[in-house]
Structure 1
Amino acid sequence: MLFPTVYGENLFDDLDNMFGLTSYEGEGRRDPLFGKNASRIMKTDIRETDTSYELDIDLPGFKKEDIQAHLKEGYLTITAQKGLERDQKEEKTGRYIRRERYSGSCSRSFYVGEHIREEDIDAKFENGILQISVPKKAPEVPVQKQIAIK
């Protein structure tokens, strides 16, 4: 499994760092594995069954059309992207003083093996959770052919 890549920084991190303040994002901000972006990473549970690996990825606030999954060279990459511009179109009055809702994109990759194909993977998005099933498949072992010696 690869470590996730998260794009889109908190606007107020620089001010917090300049004045030695801590973030309101909780303990995850100083997570040694994911750093200050820990609260924005696609939190993932991975279960192993007899026949597959089951991934449950939290993507609250995203819609199905905001999410993409790609398989390339054995890596399954999930990318989610959303902006707040569609919310702005619905506004009628007032102006924002501060905006804290997440806007941006995040991406996470998992190595599933080069023997897995796109059609082998099942994915479903429901209630903010992306559920992915990757079958356990043994890599195809090339059959060694004998050459007849005359």
Structure 2
Amino acid sequence: MSTSTNPFQELEQLFERMNRQFEESSRSWGADSPLTRWTRGFEEMAVDLIEHDEEFVVTVDLPGYERDEVTIEVTDHTLRIEAEHEEEAAEEGENYLRQERHHESMHRSIRLPDEVDKENVSARMKNGVLSVTLPKLEVEEARRIEIE
């Protein structure tokens, strides 16, 4: 019996690896690089994925983001997290000598090792740390079929 792989799953994993490598290399370019404006928004989202007996727990550092700025989606074996700040207009009349604070967006897709019960996923956020609990889906044992 051969096991078939999902080509879209392999592509998604390839893009995740490429994204991480791009993020790592872009950090070395520095603030004065011509690509700095283009790479803004590709900030790294630090993620921990822990497996317990009956659930997965994903912990994500999102300093400076509020609950209403974070979106979580679960599909099949993938958890997608997006965090986006609303752009604030600079105060008119302010004479900035230096302005380094920027509002940015981040996103990350995490491939989960097993299927999860999408209906019972829960999330909480405290002090810029997001915790997502994903209960594992109970997989039924294979049933043998008698051939007539």
Q: TM-score range by the shorter chain?
A: 0.5 to 0.7
**TM-score normalised over the length of structure 2:** 0.63
Q: How many residues align?
A: 125
**TM-score normalised over the length of structure 1:** 0.62
- Does residue 53 of structure 1 match 2:56? yes
What is aligned with 1:65? 68
The offset of 1:62, in angstroms, is: 0.5
Contact 1:115–1:140 (8 Å) recurs in 2:
no
What is aligned with 1:109? 109
Higher helix share: 2
* 1:62-102 Cα shifts (integer Å, max 9, x gaps): 011100011224211000011341x64xx475133433224
What SS class does the counterpart of residue 32 from structure 2 fall into? Answer: helix
Structure 1 residues 52, 69: closer, same or farther in 2, change over 3 A?
A: same
Structure 2: tracts of 5 or more residues without a match: 1-11, 21-25
**After superposition, where does 1:116-131 map in structure 2 within 5 Å?**
116-131=116-131
Return 61-70 or 102-111, whichever deviates more.
102-111
* Pairwise CA RMSD: 3.7
Looking at structure 2, the residues matched to 124 and 59 of structure 1 have their Cα atoms a distance apart, in angstroms, of: 12
The amino acid across from 2:43 in the alignment is: R
Q: Which has the higher contact order (CA 8 A, sep 6+)?
A: 1
Looking at structure 2, the residues matched to 66 and 92 of structure 1 have their Cα atoms a distance apart, in angstroms, of: 25
The offset of 1:42, in angstroms, is: 1.3
The amino acid across from 2:77 in the alignment is: G
Runs of 4+ aligned structure 1 residues displaced above 6 Å come to none
What is aligned with 2:32? 15
Contact 2:85–2:104 (8 Å) recurs in 1:
yes
Looking at structure 1, the residues matched to 51 and 135 of structure 2 have their Cα atoms a distance apart, in angstroms, of: 10
Task: State the identity %.
Answer: 23
